[in-house]
Amino acid sequence: MHVPDGFINAPVSAVAGVVAAGAVAVSLRGARRELDERTAPLAGLVAAFVFAVQMLNFPVAAGTSGHLLGGALAAILVGPYTGVLCIAVVLLMQGILFADGGLTALGVNISVMGVVTVVVAYGLFRGLTSVLPRTRRSTTAAAFVAALVSVPAAAVAFTLLYAIGGTTDVPLGKVLTAMVGVHVLIGIGEAAITALTVGAVLAVRPDLVHGSRGLAAPLKLRVDGELVDAPAAAPAPAAPRSTRKVWAAGLVAALLLAGFVSFYASADPDGLEKVAADQGIDEKVEEHGAADSPLADYGVKDVENARISGGLAGVIGVGVTVVVGSGVFWAVRRRRTREASGTTTGTRSD
Amino acid sequence: MGAGHAHKLYRHGHSPVHDLPPHCKLVAVLCFVVVVVSTPREAVWAFALYAALLAGVAATARIPAGFLLKRLVIEVPFVAFALLMPFVVPGEQTELLGVPVSVPGLWGAWNVLAKGTLGVGASVLLASTTELRSLLLGLQRLRLPPLLVQIASFMIRYGDVITDELRRMSIARRSRGFEARGVRHWGVLAKTMGALFIRSYERGERVHLAMVSRGYTGSMPVIDEVTASRTQWAYASVLPVLALAVCLLGWTV
């Protein structure tokens, strides 16, 4: 599963390295919020746990066995930020000490196995637990689904990187089928083990499972033979966080991807367009209304170099999207604040 | 944590390579691998030269070839993948020992095998000539975020402890007649992992309390700052510079 050197070309590896470094930087801040100054020893010990877990072999059938990847498990047990950090540290140490995964492919490995796995697993887990009834069983079920999807998601992410910067032109369809096919099978095993493990921890120390913090039953006191709710310690209100940095980072990443990566993107039709052309679906497709706009077909008119033109179009596209998107967001928020202030004044006048 | 805590991958010695400061070696290996990866695959002789360079470093470090070759086993999974390539990549076909294979597939397999093997070789050389602790110091010197270095150092320090705990649990299971034979036994193994997680987490809490009681405020004091003289940097740069020369030749020839 670890990507060796020479598999993905240098520019894409560099971009993946930047993405991984950004993700680790964000996780460092986030983990400090999750664990404050206990971050170093706790995250270190959890990383050691992930490392040990990857050594535990699970027999599958007739002499074959596999091991856990641990991304989903770490995300659910200790939270997404600490999860990304632990996986990243494990991958870094495996790369330097055990030569498992190439040094130039470290960014690719962290992005695919750390970031994508953890983000997909935790997002899915959070989404499911908010919908399902708040019981232990549904937490375990959500852990199952999250782990099940996270592994093929990582495989898809890898295929995407391979499509942009693979050093050999294996037909993409074949790579995708093989990768996703194999990883769906791996994902089933991962899901079963993750769910069982989360269940085992839930049974003993439910407070340690980050993903089920809301599950704790309120403390009851028995006063004169009757159960009374204990006075709960008021949780400290979270300080309002500035979103400006997240914004800036997102914008930079989008511009980087649009301007730089599209440099290396293939000019061939994408999979959907290819299928459409092969099957003759697109015979009736009319030219898009904006076909002769200055940015038609992801290129800037009157710019000769196809790559620069593509990159420029990407940057302009991101810029326009950001402006339009923040305009809409701003308008909605203004309306909402006005409504809110309207209702408060209304209640006051009553 | 006194003596005897060197990892199994490290090979004790006092060669010029062992004595180089860790961050010089890290930078040298990284540059070497980057150069190798950006070499055109058609320059087959260049990869032979790279291998010779690595062999030269191994000879200077007095690392026996058998030790290195044994450690190269780690790359078996992607060798399997590379061997598949000539059969699945479309393109011009050719005969190899009577089996039809594709030419671009062969080039692809060669590319992955050569660059991957050289990368593994360089990392193995680094790990077998550098102690764990100095590797971490080197990473810190290279301005890796201190928190990340701390996490990595805790992982390294307690990795063996946690792994041993896992081993003891496995002995305890087996001494009670348990043998994992198939999917039916996953429940037991998963409970092992759950218990291991709780133990690791609680150990982390204890370690943190012990550190706080000794005055820990969130950062580790740096006692032995590693430094490198200009000569040492020059020695370390021999490998990547020679590799760069080979790479440039590979692009022009």
pLDDT digits (tens, 9 = 90+) for A248-268: 666 666 666 665 555 544 444
Q: Are residues A44 and A130 in the same domain?
A: yes
Distance in angstroms (rounded) separating the CA atoms of residues A246 and B218: 25
Backbone φ and ψ of B110, nearest 5°:
-60, -45
Quote the pLDDT of residue B14. 80
pLDDT winner (highest mean) among A211-215, A233-237, A291-295: A211-215
φ, ψ of residue A129 in degrees (nearest 5): -70, -25
A347: pLDDT strictly greater than 70: no
Q: What is the pLDDT of residue B171?
A: 93
Chain A touched by B157 (CB under 8 Å): yes
In a domain, A89, yes or no: yes
User: Looking at the complex, does the CB of residue A86 fall below 8 Å from at least one CB of chain B?
Assistant: yes
List the single range of A36-45, A177-186, A211-220, B11-20 with lowest mean pLDDT.
Answer: A211-220
Single-letter amino acid code for the residue at B95: E
Q: Are residues A194 and A296 in the same domain?
A: no
pLDDT score recorded for residue B196: 93
Residue A283 lies in a domain: no
Domain termination site, one of A174, A194, A215:
A215
Residue A308 pLDDT > 80: no
Checking if the pLDDT of A20 tops 90, the result is yes
Q: Are strands B93-96 and B99-102 parallel, antiparallel or unpaired?
A: antiparallel
Which chain A residue has the Cα nearest residue B114? A6
pTM of the model: 0.74
pLDDT band at B165 (very low <50, low <70, confident <90, very high): very high
Closest Cβ opposite residue B85 in set A85, A168, A198: A168
Across the range B182-206, mean pLDDT stands at: 89
User: Could you say which DSSP state residue A233 is in?
Assistant: P
End-to-end CA distance of chain B: 53
Interface of B with A in 44-63 (CB under 8 A): none
Q: Which of A58, A61, A98 sits opposite B74 (nearest CB)?
A: A98
Residue A154: CATH number of its domain: 1.10.1760.20
A161 shares a domain with A15: yes
Q: Which of residues 176-235 of B touch A (CB under 8 A)?
A: 180-183, 185-187, 189-198, 200-201, 203-205, 207-208, 211, 216-218, 220
Q: Number of folded domains in chain A?
A: 2
pLDDT at residue A2, as a whole number = 79
Is A99 within 8 Å of B71 when comparing Cβ atoms? yes
Q: Kindly determine whether residue B123 and residue A86, on different chains, have CB atoms separated by under 8 Å.
A: no
- DSSP-derived 3-state class of residue A228: strand
User: Which residues in chain A are contacts of B204 at CB distance < 8 A?
Assistant: 38, 41-42, 44-46
Give domain status of residue A280, yes or no: no
| Range from A97-106, A268-277, B110-119 that averages highest in pLDDT | B110-119
Q: What is the pLDDT confidence band of residue A288, given thresholds at 50, 70 and 90?
A: low
- For the four alpha carbons of B154, B158, B163 and B169, in that order, the dihedral sign comes to negative
Above 70 in pLDDT, residue A46?
Answer: yes
Same domain membership, residue A85 and residue A172: yes
Chain A residues close to B196, C-beta within 8 Å: 49, 52-53
User: Rounded to whole angstroms, how far apart are CA atoms A183 and A120?
Assistant: 15
DSSP letter string over B4-43?
S---TT-----SHHHHS-HHHHHHHHHHHHHHHHTS-TT-
Q: Quick one: A30 and A100 in the same domain?
A: yes
Beta strands in chain B (DSSP E): 93-96, 99-102
Confidence (pLDDT) at A17: 92
Could you tell me what percent of chain A has a pLDDT over 90? 20
What is the C-alpha radius of gyration for chain B, rounded to an integer number of angstroms? 23
Structure confidence at residue B2 as a pLDDT band (50, 70, 90): very low
In a domain, A274, yes or no: no
pLDDT surpassing 90 at residue B172: yes
Q: How far is A310 from chain B (nearest CA, A)?
A: 24
A331, A193: one domain: no
Min mean pLDDT across A123-132, A324-333, B97-106 is at A324-333
Q: What is the distance in angstroms between the Cα of B97 and the nearest Cα belonging to chain A?
A: 23
Q: Are A180 and A251 part of one and the same domain?
A: no
Each domain of chain B, given as residue ranges in start order, spans 16-130+227-252, 145-213
Question: What mean pLDDT is reported for chain A?
Answer: 75
Higher pLDDT, A202 or A277: A202
A14 and A134 in a common domain: yes
CA distances (Å), origin A139, targets A79, A129, A251, A345, B119: 14, 6, 35, 42, 42
Residue B220: pLDDT over 50: yes
Supply the DSSP symbol for B95: E
ipTM of this model?
0.87
Q: Count of alpha carbons within 13 Å of A27, Cβ hemisphere only?
A: 31
Give the residue-averaged pLDDT of A329-347: 56
Residue B244 Cα, gap to closest chain A Cα (Å): 15
What per-residue confidence (pLDDT) applies to B10? 77
pLDDT of the residue at B1: 41
Q: At what angle do helices B132-141 and B22-37 cross, to 10 degrees?
A: 80
Which residue in the set A68, A89, A168 is minimally distant from B89, CB to CB?
Answer: A168
Residue B14, min C-alpha distance to chain A (Å): 20
Partner residue opposite B190 with nearest CB, options A44, A48, A193: A193
In a domain, A2, yes or no: no
B111 at A interface, C-beta within 8 A: yes
Q: Which of residues 149-168 of A touch B (CB under 8 A)?
A: 167-168
Q: What average pLDDT does range A120-126 have in this prediction?
A: 93
Give the mean model confidence (pLDDT) for residues B26-39.
90
Q: What is the pLDDT of residue A274?
A: 47
Asked whether the beta carbons of A18 and A256 are under 8 A apart, the reply is yes
The per-residue pLDDT for B137 is: 86
Q: Which has more pLDDT, A321 or B71?
A: B71
Average pLDDT over residues A151-168: 86
* Mean pLDDT on A265-280: 47
Q: What is the pLDDT of residues A55-85, one digit of tens each?
A: 877 777 666 667 788 889 999 988 899 899 9
Residues A209 and A248 in one domain: no
Range 211-250 of A in CB contact (< 8 A) with B: none
Q: Is the same domain home to A43 and A149? A: yes
Q: Would you state the pLDDT for residue A244? A: 62
Closest-CA residue of chain B to A29: B147
What's residue A150's pLDDT?
92
Confidence of residue B63 (pLDDT cuts 50, 70, 90): confident
How is chain B split among helix, strand and coil, in percent rounded to 5?
70, 5, 25
Q: What is the crossing angle of helices A39-53 and B186-213, to 10°?
A: 160
Q: What DSSP string describes B224-240? A: S-----HHHHHHHHHHH
Measured CA to CA in angstroms, residue A41 lies from A54, A314, B47, B241 at distances of 20, 43, 43, 39
Q: Is the pLDDT of residue A277 over 60?
A: no
CA distance B100 to chain A (A): 17
Place of tokens 């994408």: A270
What is the rounded CA–CA span in Å between residue B101 and residue B91? 9
Q: What is the model's pLDDT at position B16?
A: 80
Domain that holds residue A310: 244-266+291-349
> Per the domain annotation, does A96 fall within a domain?
yes
Domain co-membership, A175 together with A256: no
Taking an 8 Å cut-off on Cβ atoms, the answer to whether B89 and A169 are in contact is yes
pLDDT of residue A284: 47
Residue B139 pLDDT grade (very low, low, confident, very high; cuts 50, 70, 90): confident
Environment class of B129 (CB within 10 Å of its CB; exposed 0-12, middle 13-18, buried 19+): buried
**Chain A residues near residue B192 by CB distance under 8 angstroms:** 56
The predicted pLDDT at position A326 comes to 66
Same domain, A156 and A14: yes
The number of C-beta contacts closer than 8 angstroms across A and B is 256
